[in-house]
Structure 1
């Protein structure tokens, strides 16, 4: 099913959200929302980390933002701010995934000033070769993750994914004109500058520079000896035109940013790929007049503003200026919606693993469950009705069968299964009828008896004590005066056309001086009369008379 997803970018100056819908490998982006933070919620010290009072103010601002934007029931994806996290790019001399998984914690522990039990990490593979694996590791202290999640929880947010605000930019890269080539996405924010290098649309490297718009404002306030609000106003009004001998601190802040960007571009992992083709520059402080031209001149690289692609899945059109501030929120939303998102880091692991709130599930799925329950009830009622109706029909049919059976077989007094008993009776009738019809011929059993009677000579005294007729045989047990008469009887019966074989057996003398015998006659289809076999030696026919 489709899920309503929100990429929530909790910046130092404003809250930004991209709202969309995703599921079944598809996604749609519906709208972008931005809400500036109040003075108290913005109060974040330069070293990072808000005071308890500022954290409470930010939580209240988030809660109000979710309520006014009707985002409470959506699935929310958030990022851990870059100054709370750290990244490491590692090259391992093997490619076995299980071996990589076992090795990463030991490699990281050797590079951070904390014990491995104090940090939480996740990693994703950037590149593999026949004998090496390039991975990007994201890590943060468990204590800082816990505080950040607690602040989000106070604002009513239980994020399904907690990414890094640098890596998520790679998800938005293909939609910001960075689908091919080696491109740096540079987000100059209020407190920091986030960098994400993408190579042909794939994540390559990231970095966070602790310099942003607030650093420029503070430096200008020092140079001009005015308060922060006035320095902010003059910065927006004049931009870099105000740089000069009278603003040395401001110039140094700008130079620091340029130098850190140049240092990133010339880092070994980036030099190995080649010179950066261009910079896509965005963020609230990137709107400062003259900054893009200065970076292009100092770094000898093309600097472009982000331009959202004309993708049919984007169902809204950004207002002027929104494209410069939405990339992080867009990257977060795509992380939650698109199956093929580029970034894969998630610090909601182990004790911080995401557990969907049951109440949210109840509110989201209660209408669906109610409809499903009603449908199941109707289906069950229909099945029960069909069963009752079928039973009633079966009972009526059984009664009719029993009545027909009683009419057909009145001699049967014990009725157990009338249908089975009727089948058995029918089979008996069929066997009898078949025997009477001699199986396919036109001669009946009565014809057989009549033919036997006609063939027995009138002067031969034959007594038949038992006669049985089955499907293919006639068995006769009888008695007569002598052996010769038995042979005479056999000879005469063999002349019947539909008797294929006549056998005499068990000829014995009885107490009255006669002979008893058994005749077995094999019956076949009628045919031409058969010739009588020659008489046995010693019979009356062989001696020429009786």
Structure 2
């Protein structure tokens, strides 16, 4: 059983969604949350402490949109190589950073006879490094890091939809066309401003106002008679229990809804087409009456996103990130180049390569500590010859005790043993300094295989020898199997990769992969090695 997790490092709550299964069948196991008021690192550590499968899971985390940006670049050609060359210069001219300061991830949107559209996710390298360091420091290093708007776009599946994630301190708008993210906007307002408005009018703390907020509902405004005209509030139908609180809450909310409407209008003007529907996500979106009031402000159908497992819209981002970890949601990974994920293979390699050497080094350190203790005892208490001799015998039991006649002799014998141990360690270091061949090959294979969101693969059996690598695996389509073979062949070590025995079994495909190692034999090599008289 495999496990994946999506980590939403929200300003109000940290949420971790866990899924279990394999590439053919993933099930949402749970969503756990912890208040961020204790700090994001502390919140993750608290969740981790109660999660027994934490060490087995691979993770995807989100970079907040306020730390990055999304652009869709139109180019008059479709060739991938040409696009890859043109994009950096195109992007650099539109952002206030140098290329060396940026992490630039790309994902194709679509193409036709007139050219192509490519989604470009841009973030400052410093921001990405900072978040990765925080997560790694609490044992939550993600295999992929994606921009939050792109993960939220996974809830869009038709037409032109705006996924509006109303969080604690900010609101993210992910505008999607045909299920593809094509624009993203950030509004620095969220549930916090609603809470503060309530606290001011009620004269209570923010915590008390936060609790009160979820007991209130906002009235639905009248549907505008024409698109994008200001709505007029209707009679709520009954007098609210606390009209002052509702008025304060509604006033603060309308400021945010006006901002959302303004951004949607601007996006329609910029892109040249209209929005069909608004999908609500985020904790603040759960306010009673919000969907109806936003629909009145925009004149657009508005509903909450449907989160798998029946979880509330507040869990939308965490679950989307977990789905991205399964490969079900295509995303643009910001862990590229020097920031690329190294994974468990590097950890295992370091342990195996240096484990024996570290053990020997620990012995030397222990020996030197004992030696220091003995020397200090000699300097300070020269009369304790017996104790020094006992220390030497304890460290090196093979020593002949009859030789430990005085302090000087004991220390000389001790020094001789220490020098001998040091020499052994240095010899051991020369032996284990090389990379274990089987582990090195496993590490290389893991690095070369395509990412799960590019071509899904589940390796069932793996054999590594000095002559060849072979494995039996499962994937979803014939195209994915071909992609895996092609990716391997593009690597010099695995250039002779060859798949065989492809069998379609229900909704997945099983196949074998054989990879002879070493330089392939050429016709000239064969002729040179043939017995005399056998050349044709």
Mapped contact 1:14–1:34 kept (Cα < 8 A):
no
Q: What does residue range 338-353 of structure 1 map to in structure 2 within 5 Å?
A: 338=327, 341-343=329-331, 345-353=332-340
**1:99 matched to 2:47:** no
Indicate the SS of the match to 1:204: strand
Match of 1:282 in 2: 281
Q: Distance in 2 between matches of 1:32 and 1:63?
A: 17
Q: Distance in 2 between matches of 1:330 and 1:19?
A: 8
Q: What does residue range 241-390 of structure 1 map to in structure 2 within 5 Å?
A: 253-268=252-267, 272=271, 274-308=273-307, 317-318=309-310, 322-338=311-327, 341-343=329-331, 345-358=332-345
Match of 1:64 in 2: 46
Match of 1:15 in 2: 14
Mapped contact 1:21–1:337 kept (Cα < 8 A):
no
Q: Distance in 1 between matches of 2:134 and 2:266?
A: 35
Match of 2:196 in 1: 218
Distance 1:106 1:126, change over 3 A: same
Residue 347 of structure 1, CA deviation: 1.0
Mapped contact 1:292–1:303 kept (Cα < 8 A):
yes
Alignment gaps of 5+ in structure 1: 42-57, 310-316, 377-546
Indicate the SS of the match to 2:56: coil
Mapped contact 1:265–1:271 kept (Cα < 8 A):
no
Distance 1:17 1:298, change over 3 A: same
Match of 1:204 in 2: 182
Alignment gaps of 5+ in structure 2: 220-239, 352-438, 443-459, 466-536
Mapped contact 2:2–2:56 kept (Cα < 8 A):
no
The correspondence for 2:207, drawn from 224, 229, 233, is: 229
Residue 214 of structure 1, CA deviation: 0.9
Residue 69 of structure 1, CA deviation: 1.8
Aligned-residue RMSD, C-alpha: 3.4
Match of 1:151 in 2: 134
Q: Distance in 2 between matches of 1:124 and 1:260?
A: 29
Distance 1:130 1:251, change over 3 A: same
Equivalent residues, number = 337
Larger gyration radius, structure 1 or structure 2: 1
**1:29 matched to 2:27:** yes
Q: Distance in 2 between matches of 1:256 and 1:88?
A: 27
Residue 373 of structure 1, CA deviation: 11
Match of 2:3 in 1: 4
Q: Distance in 2 between matches of 1:246 and 1:280?
A: 27
**1:167 matched to 2:150:** yes
Indicate the SS of the match to 2:150: coil
Residue 248 of structure 1, CA deviation: 8.4
Distance 1:238 1:74, change over 3 A: same
Residue 11 of structure 1, CA deviation: 1.6
Mapped contact 1:211–1:257 kept (Cα < 8 A):
yes
Q: Distance in 2 between matches of 1:361 and 1:21?
A: 23
Q: Distance in 2 between matches of 1:308 and 1:144?
A: 29
Mapped contact 2:144–2:334 kept (Cα < 8 A):
yes
Mapped contact 2:18–2:30 kept (Cα < 8 A):
yes
Q: Distance in 1 between matches of 2:187 and 2:293?
A: 18
Q: Distance in 2 between matches of 1:170 and 1:238?
A: 29
Indicate the SS of the match to 1:150: helix
Distance 1:248 1:208, change over 3 A: same
Mapped contact 2:164–2:278 kept (Cα < 8 A):
yes
Residue 191 of structure 1, CA deviation: 1.5
Distance 1:356 1:268, change over 3 A: same
Q: Distance in 1 between matches of 2:462 and 2:202?
A: 70
TM norm structure 2: 0.56
Q: Distance in 2 between matches of 1:10 and 1:36?
A: 10
Match of 2:485 in 1: none
Distance 1:244 1:260, change over 3 A: farther
Q: Distance in 1 between matches of 2:67 and 2:205?
A: 29
Q: Distance in 1 between matches of 2:304 and 2:85?
A: 42
Q: Distance in 2 between matches of 1:147 and 1:69?
A: 25
Indicate the SS of the match to 1:334: helix
Indicate the SS of the match to 1:357: helix
Residue 117 of structure 1, CA deviation: 1.5
Match of 2:119 in 1: 136
Indicate the SS of the match to 2:117: strand
Residue 110 of structure 1, CA deviation: 1.9
Q: Distance in 1 between matches of 2:121 and 2:197?
A: 32
Q: Distance in 2 between matches of 1:22 and 1:207?
A: 34
Distance 1:358 1:67, change over 3 A: farther
Q: Distance in 1 between matches of 2:284 and 2:94?
A: 32
Deviations along 1:380-420, one digit per CA (max 9) or x if unpaired, are xxxxxxxxxxxxxxxxxxxxxxxxxxxxxxxxxxxxxxxxx
Indicate the SS of the match to 1:237: coil
Q: Distance in 2 between matches of 1:66 and 1:73?
A: 12
Residue 183 of structure 1, CA deviation: 2.0
Match of 1:487 in 2: none
Deviations along 1:124-170, one digit per CA (max 9) or x if unpaired, are 12222222322222111111111111110111111110001110123
Q: Distance in 2 between matches of 1:94 and 1:248?
A: 54
Distance 1:141 1:132, change over 3 A: same
Residue 260 of structure 1, CA deviation: 2.7
Residue 223 of structure 1, CA deviation: 4.7
Residue 262 of structure 1, CA deviation: 1.8
TM norm structure 1: 0.55
